[in-house]
Amino acid sequence: MAAFSTNLKIAHLNIIFLISAQILFGWTLVFETTGKPLPEMETRIRNQIEEFSQKVSGWDDSTDTIRVKIAYTRSEFNEATYGLMPDWSIGAADPSSNTIILFFPESSKSPKAIELVKHEMAHILLHKALDDIPIPRWFDEGFAQWVSGPIEQGQAIRLAMANLTGESVNLWELETVNSWNHIRAELAYAESRAAFDYLMSTIDGNIYGLIRSINRMDDFADGFEDFTGTSLVNFYRHWGNVRLQKFNWSLILLDWRTIFAVITILFLIGGTIKLIRNKRKKGEEDWEHPMSMEAVEEREQD
């Protein structure tokens, strides 16, 4: 998570709206954009914040301001983040300045950037809760996705495919994810999300207890081991085995895209066999009832 400029260098900056302190702890969210706000943006963002607040309620009672800056062009986004983010990135958070930058083209109708508000806010919340204790990238991204919503079917299929092809990534490799291409980065995010879900299942969802333990030990690895009873290295090894068992070929076979592809292939094969049989049957009929030369010439003329 790279630090970046908190000011967009633009001709003018409009404050779209404020979200009141009652919605998220005691915090105020200020949304800024370089142009006109997108249709229904405020309503959609409010809904996302309310969902976020319900999932992490009770974490913090402090008052603060988070600035969410929406860049409508890639150049604005790159300038605001000092060009430190990869070309596949559409969101960034800087906990030290309580700033979020989102890349949301003005012509786009995708809700992805709206959903990213929760994701990036989760990064800020986690780093503040841990008082900036260094944390692994997989835990950071896994938590942000966990707060944002359930794991997507596409992520599960991607993990299963990676297991079958031997292209899986290890959790400790995610520290360099910003230098990866977007395909491998998507796999990394799926890996972190699935690993975090598994971690939550082993501690009965007690993320608060884990956070307190890390803070008490003033170290992520020590706090992790103190709370879970297993070292971080052993967790990585165990997760690798769990991933292989959980994300396998059965997920791929049950995916609707696989089912559709199989049905299409079977339909084509069936059609081809039927066509061959019809041609063979027609040839046998012609052999049993040969036509005269005159009939052949008439057919050719027709």
Asked if 59 and 25 count as a contact pair (C-beta separation under 8 A), the reply is yes
- 1-129 folds as Glutaredoxin (3.40.30)
Percentage above 90 pLDDT, the chain: 30
Asked if 104 and 113 count as a contact pair (C-beta separation under 8 A), the reply is yes
Q: What is the mean pLDDT of residues 110-124?
A: 77
Confidence of residue 256 (pLDDT cuts 50, 70, 90): very low
C-alpha distances in Å from residue 150, one per residue of 167, 209, 218, 240, 266: 24, 21, 30, 21, 34
pLDDT of residue 147: 83
Distance linking the first and last C-alpha atoms of the chain: 74
Asked if 169 and 190 count as a contact pair (C-beta separation under 8 A), the reply is no
In sequence order, what are the beta bridge partners of 69?
Answer: 32, 101
Phi, psi of 149 (to 5 degrees): 155, 180
Asked if 38 and 104 count as a contact pair (C-beta separation under 8 A), the reply is yes
Q: Where are the beta strands (DSSP E) in the chain?
A: 14-24, 27-33, 65-71, 91-94, 99-103
DSSP H helices in 149-205: 153-165, 182-202
Structure tokens at 185: 């980065």
pLDDT of residue 232: 96
pLDDT in tens, 153-183: 888 888 888 888 889 899 999 999 999 999 9
Asked if 163 and 196 count as a contact pair (C-beta separation under 8 A), the reply is no
Distant-in-sequence, close-in-space partners of 2: CB < 8 Å, separation ≥ 6: 81, 82, 84, 85, 92, 94, 178
pLDDT in tens, 19-34: 333 344 556 777 777 6
Asked if 240 and 162 count as a contact pair (C-beta separation under 8 A), the reply is no
Domain ranges of the chain: 1-129, 131-254, 256-301
Taking 3-state DSSP, the helix, strand and coil percentages for the chain, each rounded to the nearest 5, stand at 60, 10, 30
Nearest-angstrom CA–CA distance, 14 and 206: 40
- Counting every residue written for the chain, the total comes to 302
Look-up of token digits 């950037």: 113
Q: What is the pTM of this model?
A: 0.74
